[in-house]
Structure 1
């Protein structure tokens, strides 16, 4: 592994982030998210102090062995960018912060990650699943409610702190929570941490659904206990695949993949 090399995601690597389900370990996923075709391996490694050098090297090699990474092709723009960085004598920490400011939404990029909670099974006849959608944009909330209803969910909506508290206190306990990060009077990451400490709700699958799509935000959500992370704008089918994955529903082979939602999402 050459620390001065710059790596980018292969098509398979991008599919791993977009598929709605992943088999990667947390360390593999954290590293894959940080590969951006701009920072060198040495800079990325320096930005992950919690991971030992040995673990970083073995994790990196596993991603390469699965053909998820490839050496990035040099281009004049990236070369100019590196030259400017050297001229300004940016520290490694500043370079990492700059990388974090690069949104995964560039060029239509989005992230859809979901971890499987249990065995896959179809709904039994008459069975109803319950979901809480925490989203402050009414039109988007209604759209998601409609899609989840098609999947057999009874959906409750919450758009601010008071509504979130009220819905979380209701019974039955939901089978799924879709959680926005940017609420008018609350922070979705804080809500997630409180959910994971709640005796009755700590095991409910949670998918973060948000316009905050920096690598740091994705890592923060997954590290805080989210089962999935889907960024806005998103493909409706990508969200539904993530929902089926975390809840354990079988995949819908006839699902459409070309409905983009919330193109003007707030960041």
Structure 2
């Protein structure tokens, strides 16, 4: 067994965990709840008791056999490789950075369409838009989620690197991302670059949330392909105007 592999819970496994009555053994339950699709088996094993480790391999094989767990293949969003700003992107963004910083000071938001968006995938009648709010402040995340819900979005929230990776792996693909510049264990600009490098996410509108509207911060966001900036504390009218601009008519 390769302990560098990452395992996640299947849809059948999710049903098993949510059910009022479980049909699997306690060791299987203990391991299944730890398979988050982010940590490797080696990392999971570090937090388990000696007794659980003795049956670890057999328990995992049984979960896979029952189609409750499966290997999660890493993608370009979760990869550990370093993403860097290109010199050309920095040069192009340099001229716009001053105007963006000035706009943030005057109106608390700045929007630009970084590139022409591909047509979004067709939605069934009545299907709502999807948004991901990436911010480690639970009160602010709840506040933003409520207003986005009123605007017709189904909202998912992530406040750490592990949660970000997990949420971006879940369907449906988001129609909007609100991305905090500073997270406790991740860099918002690095997340932005990973979004723009991912074939399925590269055209998703991203609005950066920032408490420090410095020119350097603005330059990084523009070079990374951000569609807009909104300053903290967030003024909801400015945020919603920015959202409507980057998402477009629906």
Aligning the two structures, in what range does the TM-score lie when normalised by the shorter sequence? 0.5 to 0.7
Find the counterpart in structure 2 of residue 227 from structure 1.
227
User: Contact 1:134–1:179 at 8 Å: present in 2 too?
Assistant: yes
Matched, 1:204 2:204: yes
Matched, 1:32 2:99: yes
Find the counterpart in structure 2 of residue 43 from structure 1.
none
Matched, 1:132 2:132: yes
Find the counterpart in structure 2 of residue 218 from structure 1.
218
Matched, 1:112 2:109: yes
Find the counterpart in structure 2 of residue 173 from structure 1.
173
Deviation at 1:234, TM superposition (A): 2.6
TM-score between both structures, scaled by the size of structure 1: 0.52
Find the counterpart in structure 2 of residue 5 from structure 1.
none
Uncovered stretches (5+) of structure 1, i.e. residues with no partner: 1-24, 37-103, 251-267
User: Contact 1:176–1:206 at 8 Å: present in 2 too?
Assistant: yes
Q: Distance in 2 between matches of 1:33 and 1:112?
A: 8
Cα 1:140–1:26 shift into 2, 3 Å: same
Uncovered stretches (5+) of structure 2, i.e. residues with no partner: 1-91
User: Contact 1:180–1:209 at 8 Å: present in 2 too?
Assistant: yes
Deviation at 1:195, TM superposition (A): 0.8
Deviation at 1:115, TM superposition (A): 2.5
Deviation at 1:220, TM superposition (A): 1.4
Q: Distance in 2 between matches of 1:189 and 1:220?
A: 7
Deviation at 1:181, TM superposition (A): 1.0
SS in 2 for 1:213: coil
Alignment of 1:1-267 (within 5 A): 29-33=96-100, 109=106, 111-116=108-113, 126-249=126-249
Q: Distance in 2 between matches of 1:33 and 1:151?
A: 25
Cα 1:115–1:225 shift into 2, 3 Å: same
Aligned-residue Cα RMSD (Å) equals 2.8
Q: Report Cα offsets for 1:205-254 as digits up to 9, x if no partner.
A: 1000121211221121111100111111231010000001100037xxxx
Cα 1:225–1:172 shift into 2, 3 Å: same
Corresponding residue pairs, total: 155
User: Contact 2:98–2:215 at 8 Å: present in 1 too?
Assistant: no
SS in 1 for 2:133: strand
Q: Distance in 2 between matches of 1:34 and 1:157?
A: 27
User: Contact 1:211–1:233 at 8 Å: present in 2 too?
Assistant: yes
Q: Report Cα offsets for 1:143-185 as digits up to 9, x if no partner.
A: 0000000000000000000000000100110000100011010
TM-score between both structures, scaled by the size of structure 2: 0.56
SS in 2 for 1:234: coil
Q: Distance in 2 between matches of 1:154 and 1:179?
A: 16
Structure ID, larger Rg:
2
